[in-house]
Amino acid sequence: MEVGYHNRKPREGLPLRYFDSLVELAKWCDFLVVATPGGAGTRHLIDRTVLEALGPNGYVVNVSRGSVVDTAALVQALSTHAIAGARLDVYEGEPHAPEALIALANVVLTPHVGGRSPESITASVGNFLNNAERHFAGEPVLTPI
């Protein structure tokens, strides 16, 4: 799979295609995966313009914060099939999913638990136990906070 990304500026040394415009990235990709901090600077970053650029074969996947996607614009795009679908692990109004999204067949909603597979939980517990063992042995932990 070819992977591209958008950021304020390109990251040095990444072998990925950089787009200086989110709209241009949306035009290029089939799956727009949103992983950005929330807050005033990213509120409704994924809006009508970005969704239109994604197009009728495109999917948006939000794993960041619910405020990043304009829910009204998303409902419109999904209802009219302006985009193919959406997968949202986060959404505006959490923990209550927007009613307009629940009724749609081309959206999958999860309650902020998308990363909780049996494998990820096993890996997290293993990482914790490894760090605890190293800490109590006087060794540096592998993943300090």
Return the domain boundaries, the chain: 4-114, 115-145
Q: Does the annotation count 44 as an active-site position?
A: no
Evaluate if residue 114 carries a pLDDT over 80.
no
**22 pLDDT band (50/70/90 cuts)?**
very high
Mean pLDDT for all residues in the chain: 94
* 4-114 CATH pick, 3.40.50.720, 3.30.565.10, 3.30.9.10, 3.40.50.11540: 3.40.50.720
Q: Does the annotation count 112 as an active-site position?
A: yes
pLDDT in tens, 55-77: 999 999 999 999 999 999 999 99
Q: Does the annotation count 65 as an active-site position?
A: yes
C-alpha torsion angle, residues 88, 91, 97, 98 (rounded to 10): -110
Q: Could you tell me if 107 and 86 are in contact, meaning their C-beta atoms sit under 8 angstroms apart?
A: yes
Task: Please give the model's pTM, rounded to 2 decimal places.
Answer: 0.81
- The three-point CA angle 18-21-48 to 5° equals 135
Given the residues 112, 116, 119, 134, the one annotated as active site? 112
